[in-house]
Amino acid sequence: MAHLPAHVGFNFTKTLHHDINASTDPTKRDLSQPSKVVLITGAGRGIGRSIALRYADCGVACIIICARTSSQLDEVEEAIKSINANVNVRKLALDVTDEKQVKLAIDKVKEEGRLDVLVNNAGVSAPWIPLVDSKVDEYWKTWEVHLKGTYLMLRAFTPLLIDTAKNEKTQANIVNLTSIGAHLTAFGASAYQTSKFALLRLTEFVCTEYENEGVNCVAIHPGGVLTEMSKNNKAIQAMLVDTPDLCGGFIVWYTKSQRSWLNGRYLSANWDVDELEARKDEIVNEGKLKMRMIV
């Protein structure tokens, strides 16, 4: 990754990770988060599945796993139970771009009595081809999943997060999965990279409007992970060297403590969390890790 331009922030910490590590592994460090209810979209496989399993390691009260394919959720439930049989698992067949389905999901989530963490992980990518050659439906589907889907989930579930923060006298967390590609322009990737860039600004808006009500929101690059979505993209194959657990561990570390100082910011799961903590004052005082035009 040494060839990447400095502005993408890949080397923001000196130490970089490609897998879960001692500081982010719930089986090696106290990242326990009892009583919490966690909702994860795109949880049927890959990165979303790993996030769910790492929260099982943390001993949360309930993990709500959402995906369009119910059979995938059955397997994830079994994997969660094999880690921690005491974790309640709720499965929701959910297309995040379908407003009716999202509305129906609200009542089911309310049955848990609280919502502490929302992870907007659902993602898709149109083929990486030039604009003129693209198919409108495929191109716009990428935007719908990343923007409309995230918007609908935020609109539906932020009130539950606010209630939890108020009732439990704590802070609730939203994680939007973005990409290091948001900082780049790769040939043919305009649907994916521009929609992921837009997520960075949407993340800031959540903080602008709800941070005073106890809601934290960050955008996280999960690393370069070989998934069903990315495996056919030859242009980025050489960069897909990270494990799904890299992101799972990073997210459970983030939500373990009240890290409002990271609000509205872009983070990378590749970064070393201890070095990141050590740079807290610099990040806050200099307004780092937010997207700004230099003039």
The set of catalytic residues is: 192, 196
Query: Rounded to the nearest 5°, which phi and psi values hold at 263?
Result: -55, 135
- Residue 128: CB atoms within 10 A of its CB come to 19
Query: Rounded to the nearest 5°, which phi and psi values hold at 59?
Result: 70, 35
Cβ(178)–Cβ(200) below 8 Å: yes
What residues are paired with 242 via a beta bridge? 225
d(C-alpha 275, C-alpha 158), whole Å: 30
What residues are paired with 65 via a beta bridge? 40, 91
Provide long-range contacts, Cβ within 8 A and 24+ apart, for 5-13: 5/184, 7/183, 8/180, 8/183, 8/184, 9/180, 9/183, 9/266, 9/268, 9/289, 10/180, 10/268, 10/270, 12/268, 12/271, 12/276, 12/289, 13/271, 13/272, 13/275, 13/276, 13/279
Place of tokens 């590590």: 21
Q: Which amino acid is at 84?
A: N
Torsion of CA 89, 94, 99, 101, to 10 degrees: -70
d(C-alpha 118, C-alpha 121), whole Å: 9
Would you give the distance in Å from CA 118 to the centre of its chain? 8
